[in-house]
Amino acid sequence: MNHYYRKSVTELSALLQAGEVSSVELTEHFLERIKAHDEKLNSFITVCEEDALAQAEAADKKLKTGDAPALTGVPIAHKDIFCTRGIRTSCASKMLDNFISPYDATVVSKMKTAGLVMLGKTNMDEFAMGSSNETSYYGSVKNPWNLNTVPGGSSGGSAASVAARITPAATGTDTGGSIRQPAALCGITGLKPTYGRCSRFGMIAFASSLDQAGPMAKTASDCALLLNAMAGFDAKDSTSIEQDVPDYTADLAKPLQGLRIGLPGEYFARDEQGKGMHEDVEAVVKAALQQYKSMGAELIDISLPNSDLSVPAYYVVAPAECSANLSRLDGVRYGYRCDKPKDLNDLYTRSRGEAFGAEVQRRIMIGTYALSSGYYDAYYLKAQQIRQLISDDFRQAFNHVDVIMAPVTPETAFTIGEKSADPISMYLSDIYTIAVNLAGLPALSLPAGFASSSKMPVGLQIIGNHFSEAKLLNVAHQYQQQTDWHTQCPQEFE
């Protein structure tokens, strides 16, 4: 029996290039695993079997020429927030359940050009709003390490499918931690690039000044290969940065001697009630830091004094932008429309009321309020000023350190339904990730071990200065050369 599912993207690429396996064979292998396992996980919304096999056949023809790009023939899944031509793009919402995109998102088209084969579209929190992947119209995604727990959100379907080895890699999006948080809770590697590094064209917008696409896979070297394909300027996206894309695999082997790692005291502190990072998570993170120290890195205490303001600032900025972005979904042009509207106002109110879930409605209402006359200066403008202070904190820190390391989440994956009735508790799941988005920085989560009590994965967060993705990937790769946490697979999916 072939065990291709155990191999990384890097290893599968080498097998394909050497002609030791065909893309059709690989694609069939992963489609079979999806059929066998995804009923338990609910990680896919749409599986594109026919299209995937056609793409795999085309990839095999390209591979035979001997001049195929490195990722040609490797299967991948896309988060269902990316538009895919001729295939449903739902954003996990009833509102877009019937939407067939007429075009590909730039990230999708770049992946096609690189020769990757799309297996399907993964489940997510509705319109990427959530920290647990419980707000999807298509039901909750399950964490493959414990099917009673959440995989994290909003890219939970992508994270769960990679962790369960039913796809070698997947795309995700990160608005406030939505790549890093599910990557940490599911024990995989996930990279949120610098804002503007990957095109947002065709990526259905949640919060336009925060959203960023990124790769999710087993290893840092996999993410480096995938970012090579994803990154780059796009004239169709006004937020895209016109800057050359380096080869992110070039510096992976660089030793870490002399690396200066910043440890923000605010991320490791406990509040007056003794709340903060769970002791099990702290133990794993500190063990990872000692591993880095043994590899020649220097640990330096730093301060990010405004980090405690990141959650309140984010939950003004993000809902305000989502309120504006989702106003286009009104039952008129495309998407869900209510039955027999009495007039235009009835069409708007019933279409939106019936098709948007509770969390989306909550954020739209908060955002509309924050942008309304008389409140704009008090809320939205003030949040943007705090955002600048947070960005300045990071800028000053990077004058003294090369990277910053911290936990990704305060705790490991929690039980499905545990926080559904408490939105504030859910929002605090992103307390260690949100500041990165507000500052537009790149950050990565990599598997660092398992909590002693829950036996669930714990992620280590590595934060870099703008456009330092190559450095983050090098730092993560060197750790993965010394540890085997990234090779662990949930027993049920072995």
Nearest to 465 by CA among 379, 394, 368: 394
What single string gives the DSSP state of each residue in 428-454?
Answer: GGGTTTHHHHHHT--EEEEEEEE-TTT
State the Cα angle at 286 between 386 and 141, rounded to 5°.
70
Q: Which amino acid is at 441?
A: L
DSSP H or E run through 217 = strand 213-217
Active site residue 429: no
Phi then psi for residue 40, to 5 deg, are -80, -30
Residue 209 annotated as catalytic = no
Side chain identity, residue 146: N
Token pair for residue 281? 């998570």
Given a contact cutoff of 8 angstroms between Cβ atoms, the answer to whether 144 and 186 are in contact is yes
User: What is the DSSP code string of 13-78?
Assistant: HHHHHHTSS-HHHHHHHHHHHHHHHHHHH--EEEE-HHHHHHHHHHHHHHHHTT---TTTT-EEEE
Q: Is 154 a catalytic residue?
A: yes
Q: Which helix (H) or strand (E) holds 185?
A: helix 180-186
Catalytic residue among 13, 22, 79, 218: 79
Helix (H) or strand (E) holding 292: helix 279-294
Catalytic residue (choose from 154, 307, 323, 351): 154
What's the rounded Cα separation, in Å, for the pair 31 and 48?
Answer: 9
Give CA–CA dist 26/184, Å, rounded. 27
Q: How far, in Å, CA of 484 to CA of 347, rounded?
A: 55
- Phi, psi for 289 (deg, rounded to 5): -65, -40
Is 319 within 8 Å of 370 (Cβ atoms)? yes
The one catalytic residue in 22, 132, 178, 221 is 178
Pair 153, 109: CB distance under 8 Å: no
Taking alpha carbons only, the member of 164, 172, 159 closest to residue 215 is 172
Positions annotated as catalytic residues are 79, 154, 178
